[in-house]
Amino acid sequence: MDEVGALKTTGKPAVFLDRDGVINRALEHECRPYPPTSLAEFDILPEVADACARLKAAGFVLVVATNQPDVGRGTLKQEIVDSIHAHMLTQLPIDRVETCFHPGRGGSDCDCRKPKPGMLLKAAKELNIDLSRSWMVGDRWRDVDCGHAAGCRTIFIDYGYAEELKQKPDFSARHLGEAADIILRETKL
């Protein structure tokens, strides 16, 4: 049995959330999203607190899974990312934050950088999460592919970025509030 298959148990369902563009407003430049570079730029989107509260009340474990390659590239200090995550955890009922700091762009061959499912697999193992009953919500192709690779259902938040999806998501939504509506409608807990 492969690692993903081994984690499809009777564990708890989870919603894995990308950070930038799902939890907080991504900074856009030439129709491409970028992460905030300071706590002052970290702006939680208006529908997020309510969506997280509804998912949590329905029994989902909430895990943020985020690539933060600027740390690995040396263009952003890890302390800034850590302060953003600490602030986010005081504002939202998130159970865990998984972060890949590897640089990507051929500069790393890790198992945690989305689209690889390493962050989801790690959280599933440590938090007893049933991936087959879980969801991945993101605004980039890497999020959709990561969710599929982990055996989760996927929701794509479509902002019309200048990039193509590589795999079709199970659903599309305009924001996390709408994604939460889909999850709660589609899931029988």
DSSP secondary structure code for residue 176 in this structure: H
Element (H, E) at 52: helix 48-57
CA angle 64, 67, 68 (to 5 degrees): 110
- Number of neighbours of residue 66 by Cβ within 10 angstroms: 23
Can you tell me the distance from the alpha carbon of 147 to that of 79, in angstroms, rounded to the nearest whole number? 28
CA angle 41, 45, 47 (to 5 degrees): 165
Closest by CA position to 179, among listed 150, 143, 149 = 143
- Residues annotated catalytic, as ranges: 18, 20
Calculate the alpha carbon distances from 74 to 18, 100, 163 in Å: 22, 14, 25
Can you tell me the distance from the alpha carbon of 138 to that of 144, in angstroms, rounded to the nearest whole number? 7
